[in-house]
Chains A and B, each alone.
Chain A
């Protein structure tokens, strides 16, 4: 009886997601997009979900990376227009060193211009930038990740330091989640490593004094 009840509830939950399948083309699924990159997904205003604008609530009660500080240059056609000493021959790493240390760069040896292009380097929030969140999944991510969706593109390639205080504002879930995990893991070791060491010593005493049998 109870098993039947539980099974029914599980099935009902699964079936309730059925309406998401076969979305009408004019009202695309927020997360998965339509897959029609040219005609649907990348039109202006299609997806507001992942726009990284300050103060934006976006999904999951603002726990995501929506409050990152945005510089004005990100809206310009040439993000480096107001940068002194910049020339196209300058290495990106000279000023953007932290951004070269994430998994895309380290593991896959992807260079900056493969995603950011360089004639000129356009601000990612410029209306027509390929990296603008409204079309990033189609113009950039899908170059390697077949089937990338708008939600997929909201993954932060240049992840902030999860432990840094700035992340508390710019990516709250990352900050709190990772601090929680570190305190949990660290707590386990801080308690049980000394415990085990002391136990080992006590066991040694018991063995040496002939009291191996814990009498």
Chain B
């Protein structure tokens, strides 16, 4: 178990990053928060993973939630997809994604888009933790 002193310790040559900036940038562009903290391989892997979820979701004709209806599941799905950051707004701008779910695979596609957004939020929070020193930079 690492102590607090070990967790906040930075390796020589590592640049401190602004935590809030890493969080917002990480949300807007998947992996960009890690890029800011100097974790290039992790950034590339996170970008590939979230982009993969996004492309697979769209390829399966997943539904893109554009408006908030009164139903709780729709609201949660909308918030989840918002986690995709710029990718979500790109899909809205170009009209990608189905307006409704018509097949089983399209339902899977919708879940890919939602979970992709949630994964992006997790990675942005991880970048925040790296930037403020809560998570060790190894």
**Co-complex (A, B):** no
Interface residues of B (CB under 8 A from A): none
